[in-house]
Amino acid sequence: MRALVKTAAGPGLELTEVPTPEAGPGQVLIKVLRTGICGTDLHIDSWDDWAARVVRAPLVVGHEFAGEVVETGAGVSTVSVGDIVSGEGHLVCGTCRNCMAGRRHLCIRTIGLGVHTDGAFAEYVVLPESNVWVHRHEIDIDVAAIFDPFGNAVHTALSFPVLNEDVLITGAGPIGMMAAAVANHAGARSTVITDVSPYRLALAEKMGATVALDVSDRRIADVMPELGMTEGFDVGMEMSGRADALQDMIATMSPGGRIAALGLPTGDVSIDMATVVTRMLTLRGIYGREMFETWYAMSVLLRSGLDISPVITHRFGFEQYAEAFATARSGQCGKIVLDWTRPVLP
């Protein structure tokens, strides 16, 4: 089969032939239809310090996907040939304390699809049955391909109640945009999202943000009176991984405010602990999705009318992967989807 592979340590990926995997006991073989490009894939492609530490070549990359089940291994009972599925890319041990307690998203031995084991940028991928999400209702296959990052957005956005609350989101990347859409759909009084990219801020407004704020031009505090806010934001979602963004968020939270942090910083971050303590703020780290409560929430949100399709701005055939990766790096995009049924799209 054809697959996008990190063939050796160093920059670059190669579209090449590799053996087609087979479904073993408890596993499912999936024909990949669409994949989404994630920031993790960009790190692996460029071979930065993180990738050099974590990834071992050769490796089929990619973890955001949707496809059709074509084979099931012995013992599989909840997934059938012909099912349209997405996949949970965090593979957990099932035996640690958190797994045994039903908190699989906290597994201490989690490994990542397309990071530690062969992934989904390929014509076929194998997953354990327990990691396969079957779409029981009609869904746009492109949207199904981005359930992984959509799950990050839902997990973050619903970590704290947002009904009637003023919400601040720092970082208008695709996950931040989807979080704004979720918060708006869930009844937030106002949703302010910040960034410095005019393209992404405009798209965030289309996704439902009340205010899309260019922080290179205006301060967060400047928009608070316009929204009738006198004490600060009730809920914060830090999506950028920037130290200054988290610092600004802490400074503009109301007493008792709650912050969910998904963005991964590249270095040490200093925060004003005096403000955290005296305003009794809550800071919660978010990694991935709750398995599978977040997946249920995603499906329910879509069935109740939430539309995240505008976040998908570009589509490419799988042979156009170099152009797709370059577009992703440009920042002039939302989510990018690769079509594995067609080598080239017009």
Is residue 43 among the annotated active site residues?
yes
262: number of Cβ within 10 Å? 26
DSSP assigned state of 265: P
Q: Which residues contact 33 (CB under 8 A, 6 or more apart)?
A: 65, 66, 67, 68, 141, 145, 339, 340, 341
Query: What are residue 339's phi and psi, to 5 degrees?
Result: -95, 115
User: Which residues are documented as binding site?
Assistant: 38, 63-64, 93, 96, 99, 107, 175, 195, 200, 262-264, 286-287
- Helices and strands in the chain: count of H runs, count of E runs: 12, 18
User: Which residues are documented as binding site for NAD(+)?
Assistant: 175, 195, 200, 262-264, 286-287
Is residue 116 among the annotated active site residues?
no
Among residues 35, 40, 194, 210, the one annotated as catalytic is 40
| Integer Cα distance of 282 and 261 in angstroms | 11
Name residue 211's amino acid.
V
Q: Is the Cα torsion angle 115, 13, 37, 18 positive or negative in sign?
A: negative
Query: What single string gives the DSSP state of each residue in 125-166?
Result: EEEEGGGEEE--S---HHHHHTHHHHHHHHHHHTSS--TT-E
133: number of Cβ within 10 Å? 24
User: Which residues are documented as binding site for Zn(2+)?
Assistant: 38, 63-64, 93, 96, 99, 107
| Integer Cα distance of 31 and 66 in angstroms | 9
Among residues 16, 20, 35, 43, the one annotated as catalytic is 43
Active site residues: 40, 43
